[in-house]
Amino acid sequence: MSSPSEDRWIRLDGTANTRDLGGLPTTDGGRTLPGRILRSDNLQTLSPDDVRRLVGEIGLRQVIDLRTSAEILLEGRGPLREVPEVSHRHFTLLPERGHHTDVFAVEEDDPELDLPSGWMESLLPRQVAAHDEGEPPAVRSYLGYLGQRGDNVVAALRAIAQAGPGASVVHCAAGKDRTGVVCALSLAVAGVPHEEIVADYALTAEVIDGVVARLAASPTYADDMVSRDVASHTPRAETMDRVLTLLDERFGGPLGWLTAHGFGPDEQAALRARLRD
d(CA 38, CA 103): 22
Q: Which residue has the higher pLDDT, 111 or 168?
A: 168
Query: Could you give the 3-state DSSP secondary structure of residue 18?
Result: coil
Question: Exposed, middle or buried by CB within 10 Å (0-12, 13-18, 19+), for 227?
Answer: exposed
Q: DSSP labels for 248-259?
A: HHHHSSHHHHHH
In this prediction, residue 100 carries a pLDDT of 55
Per cent of the chain over pLDDT 70 is 85
Find the length of the chain: 277
With cut-offs at 50, 70 and 90, classify the pLDDT of residue 137.
confident
**pLDDT mean over 143-169:** 95
In this prediction, residue 3 carries a pLDDT of 42
With cut-offs at 50, 70 and 90, classify the pLDDT of residue 232.
confident
**Buried b or exposed e, range 176-196, using 16+ CB within 10 angstroms:** bbbbbbbbbbbbbbbbbbbeb
Q: Are 191 and 273 in contact (CB under 8 A)?
A: no
The pLDDT tens digits of the residues spanning 8-19 come to 999 999 999 999
d(CA 252, CA 65): 28
Q: Which residue has the higher pLDDT, 109 or 171?
A: 171
In this prediction, residue 6 carries a pLDDT of 57
Q: Among the residues of the chain, which ranges form H helices?
A: 48-51, 69-75, 137-148, 150-162, 178-190, 194-202, 208-216, 222-227, 230-233, 237-251, 254-260, 265-275
**pLDDT mean over 32-45:** 97
The pLDDT tens digits of the residues spanning 178-210 come to 999 999 999 999 999 999 999 999 999 999 999
In this prediction, residue 111 carries a pLDDT of 45
Residue among 237, 223, 190 nearest 118 (CA): 223
d(CA 235, CA 180): 10
**pLDDT mean over 167-183:** 97
> What CATH number does the domain located at 7-107+117-275 have?
3.90.190.10
d(CA 22, CA 264): 23
Query: What are the structural domain ranges in the chain?
Result: 7-107+117-275
> What is the arrangement of strands in the sheet containing 60-65, beginning at the earlier edge strand?
19-20, 37-40, 167-171, 60-65, 87-90
d(CA 21, CA 23): 7
**pLDDT mean over 155-163:** 97
The pLDDT tens digits of the residues spanning 80-121 come to 999 999 999 999 998 776 555 566 655 555 544 555 555 455
Q: Is the full-model pTM beyond 0.95?
A: no
**pLDDT mean over 215-222:** 85
In this prediction, residue 4 carries a pLDDT of 47
Is pLDDT at 34 greater than 80 in this prediction? Answer: yes
**Mean of all residue pLDDT scores within the chain:** 88
In this prediction, residue 231 carries a pLDDT of 79
Ramachandran category for residue 137: left, alpha or beta (phi over 0 → left; psi -120 to 50 → alpha): alpha
In this prediction, residue 178 carries a pLDDT of 96
Q: Are 146 and 258 in contact (CB under 8 A)?
A: no
